[in-house]
Each structure stands twice: as C-alpha cells, then as structure tokens.
C-alpha cells in the first residue's frame, strides 16, 4: 500500500469514528436514531474508497500492471477467502481470481461456485452479486440494493432494496434462478439485516426493535433483549447468537438462543469501556470474541482465554474470522510514524490463546467469511 493510500485510509478511519449515532445511510432521511449502521457504513466505505483510490492514484490511465504474487504466508495459508488489494485479487485455497473494476474488494462468503460480493454502480449505490472463478461478476437482485445476507443453506439471498430516498424493503432472491421469492412490506427507514440462521432472518427494524422473520411463512417475531444496541453475530449453522448491549455504563456481549418464551441469555460478558462492541461468534456457537480485549469466552463454561497478541486487534472491517471452531484469523494494528496504521495477520487458537504470525505486512489484506 502506498503512502498516499495509507494516509487516505487513516483519514477515513478517523472520519468513521466521528460519525454521530443519528447519522443516516446514503439516500435516507429518516429521523429515527440508528445504532450501528453509520459505523458499519463508514467502515465499508473505507474498503471501497481505498480500493478505488488505489486504482486511481497508482494506475491512472495506464494499463493494469502484471499480477504480482501474493505476500508470503508463514505456515498454512488462510482456510477462508481473502483479498490482496495490491494485486487486486481474491484468493481461496488454490484459486486466485482477478477482481473486476467496479467490484468492491470485500466479500461475504462462498456461494454458487463463487464468492458473494457487491458492485458499485455509481457512488453510494450498490448491487449484490457473485464473483465467479472466471472473473465474471453475476449480479443478483435490483440495483440500489445492499446489506446482503445468505440463507443458512446458501440458496437464497436477502438484501435491502431502496425504493426511494426514504422508503425501501427487505427482499429475498433465489440465487439459482435470480427470481425474487419473498419480501417485507415497504416502509420508511432502513432496517439493518443482522444475520440468518435456523430461526429466520434477524432484523433491527428501528421502532419495531429486533425482529426475526421467516421468509418462507412470512411470520415475524419480536425479540426483546435488554440493552441491545444494534450489533449481532449470527452463525448460520448454530442456534446460538451473540449481540452487543449496554448495561449500567458497561459494554456487554450477550450470548443466547431464541426459545418459545423469548430470548434466553446463556452467557453475559461485560466490562468498562465506551466503545461499541462488534460481536464475533464461532461457527459452532461455542466461543465468542471480545475484540477490544483480545479475549475468547467459552459460552458453556464462562472460561476466558487471553489471546497472546502483542498489538491490539483491528476494530475496523474486516472483523476477526473463524476458520473452524477453534482457529481464529485476526488482523492486528500498530501505529507507525506520522500516525500510519500497519496491520499483521495472525492465526490464534481460542482454546490455548496461542497465536502465530501468518503475514508480517498485511496492510493490503482483507479476510472474508467462509
């Protein structure tokens, strides 16, 4: 990453931290207070703008340079997809795919023989789709759609479709046919799509609060979680979820499961700190990560394992990603001369806390969900 790109990224990180809680997403004018949407949108914008800036600032009108090899990886390569921006490519095992121009470098999981991503149609307007191994990007759903979330079986895709500057709706697309198969009634404001598991699609619907929607039946269920403040980690294969919450001036992670009588909290972990927490949960639903403290919490026993990292875990996108039930990939941050942020990529065992350096210079790396 060049000095210019690094300075741009650092500036955008600073700007993201200044976004007020009542800021609105692109094209929206709803006065209702949003919780985590502005920060996520700003963080996502960092990824998009840095990639676009890298193209404009380093290439201009010149032809693309020859593809350079990915930076060296110490030990086994990541078992999840990852992007190397310096070469504008996505890597997944033995596959390497050039990312076409106009496609965001952040991906949301393997699906349909490729990787779920998003196309930047015009500034501020996204459209989901699948990057195929041959480099073609197959769009899904209508333009002016984002917030994509895969169904547990990875056969359907939920997204938010902007119908106007102030109204929109959550829709579900069948991935194979590309047809719309379900939708929620249009409304003002923008619900946040948090995740999709066996219970249904989890949505933060502003005034209506936290809602779980089953697209197949159309049934909606309100879920009450004390102190919930807008973020969640919802593995597709697990019945357990983790949400962020505030309680008595403390920031908390609450792990729980949906029951007939409501949300049952299985483990609560709180500490002092003003920062908003973005939950991370293992795919088996057994371990949650407190990124601000670099800790792994066993949900069944409550045992806390400190991850042996010298530097702080990155608090921007991408969040830490589990390769399996016990192995966690995470970027760490160090601040260099002039305030430039530098990243390293580690693999940590959440049962022992041992961490191994995979990439020494990972400033241009992004890791993705499997």
The domains of the chain are located at 225-306
Contact 204, 242 (CB under 8 A): no
Q: How far apart are CA 57 and CA 61, in angstroms?
A: 10
Q: Is-contact 183 169, C-beta < 8 A? A: yes
- Give CA–CA dist 59/94, Å, rounded: 27
Instruction: For residue 275, name the pLDDT band (cuts at 50, 70, 90).
Output: confident
Of residues 145, 140, 121, 120, the one with CA closest to residue 129? 140
User: What is the C-alpha to C-alpha distance for residues 296 and 299, in angstroms, rounded to an integer?
Assistant: 9
Q: Are 157 and 172 a contacting pair, CB within 8 Å?
A: yes
Q: What is the pLDDT of residue 300?
A: 97
Quick check: 48 pLDDT over 90?
no
Mean pLDDT of 155-169: 94
Q: What is the DSSP letter of 81?
A: -
Q: What is the pLDDT of residue 341?
A: 84
pLDDT value, residue 72: 57
- The tokens describing 96, both together, are 């390497």
* Arithmetic mean of pLDDT over the chain: 82
Q: How far is residue 251's CA from residue 269's CA, in Å, rounded to a whole number?
A: 9
- Quick check: 4 pLDDT over 80? no
pLDDT > 90? residue 350: yes
Alpha helices in the chain (DSSP H): 3-17, 37-58
**192, β-bridge pairs:** 204
Composition of the chain by helix, strand, coil, percent to 5 = 10, 45, 45
The confidence score (pLDDT) of residue 10 equals 38
Cβ burial of 296 (10 Å; 0-12, 13-18, 19+) is: buried
* pLDDT over 70 (residue 296): yes
Predicted pLDDT at 348 = 97
- Average pLDDT of the residues in 129-153: 96
Q: Among 236-240, 304-308, 347-351, which is the least confidently predicted range?
A: 236-240
Cα distance from N-terminal residue to C-terminal residue, the chain: 25
Q: Of the given ranges (66-70, 94-98, 361-365), which has the lowest mean pLDDT?
A: 66-70
pLDDT of 79 > 70? The answer is yes
What are the φ/ψ torsions at residue 16 (nearest 5 degrees)?
A: -60, -35
H or E element in which residue 270 lies: strand 262-272
Residues β-bridged to residue 367:
82
41: nearest Cα among 98, 115, 118: 118
Residue 343 CA to its chain's centroid (Å) = 18
Whether the CA torsion 5, 6, 10, 16 is positive or negative: it is positive
What distances in angstroms separate CA 289 from CA 268, 296, 304, 309, 350, one per listed residue?
A: 12, 5, 10, 14, 9
SS3 46: helix
Cα 256 to chain centroid, rounded: 20
| pLDDT at residue 192 tops 90 | yes
CA–CA dist 73, 198 (Å, integer): 36
* pLDDT for residue 12 is more than 80: no
């Amino acid at each position: 990453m060049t000095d210019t790109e690094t300075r741009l990224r650092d500036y955008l990180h600073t700007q993201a931290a200044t976004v007020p809680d009542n800021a609105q997403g692109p094209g929206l004018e709803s006065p209702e207070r949003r919780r985590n949407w502005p920060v996520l949108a700003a963080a996502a914008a960092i990824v998009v703008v840095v990639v676009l800036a890298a193209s404009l600032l380093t290439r201009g009108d010149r032809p693309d340079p020859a593809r350079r090899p990915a930076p060296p990886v110490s030990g086994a390569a990541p078992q999840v997809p990852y992007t190397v921006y310096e070469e504008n490519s996505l890597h997944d095992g033995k596959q390497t795919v050039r990312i076409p121009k106009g496609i965001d470098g952040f991906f949301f999981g393997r699906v349909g023989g490729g990787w779920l991503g998003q196309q930047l149609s015009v500034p501020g307007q996204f459209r989901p789709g699948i990057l195929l191994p041959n480099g073609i990007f197959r769009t899904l759903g209508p333009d002016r759609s984002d917030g994509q979330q895969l169904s547990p079986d990875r056969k359907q895709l939920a997204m938010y479709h902007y119908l106007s500057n102030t109204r929109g709706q959550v829709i579900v697309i069948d991935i194979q046919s590309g047809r719309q198969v379900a939708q929620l009634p249009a409304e003002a404001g923008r619900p946040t799509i948090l995740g999709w598991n066996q219970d249904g699609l989890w949505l933060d619907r502003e005034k209506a609060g936290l809602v779980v929607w089953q697209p197949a039946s159309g049934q909606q269920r309100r879920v009450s979680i004390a102190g919930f403040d807008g973020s969640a980690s919802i593995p597709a294969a697990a019945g357990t979820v983790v949400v962020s919450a505030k309680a008595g001036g403390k920031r908390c992670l609450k792990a729980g499961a949906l029951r007939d009588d409501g949300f049952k909290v299985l483990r609560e972990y709180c500490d002092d700190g003003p920062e908003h927490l973005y939950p991370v949960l293992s795919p088996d639903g057994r371990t949650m990560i407190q990124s601000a403290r670099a800790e792994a919490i066993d949900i069944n026993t409550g045992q806390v394992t400190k991850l042996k990292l010298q530097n702080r875990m990155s608090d921007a996108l991408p969040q830490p990603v589990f390769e399996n039930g016990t192995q966690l990939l995470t970027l760490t941050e160090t601040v260099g001369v002039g305030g430039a942020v530098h990243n390293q990529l580690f693999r940590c065992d959440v049962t022992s806390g041992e961490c191994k350096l995979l990439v020494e210079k990972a400033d241009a790396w992004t890791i993705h969900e499997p």
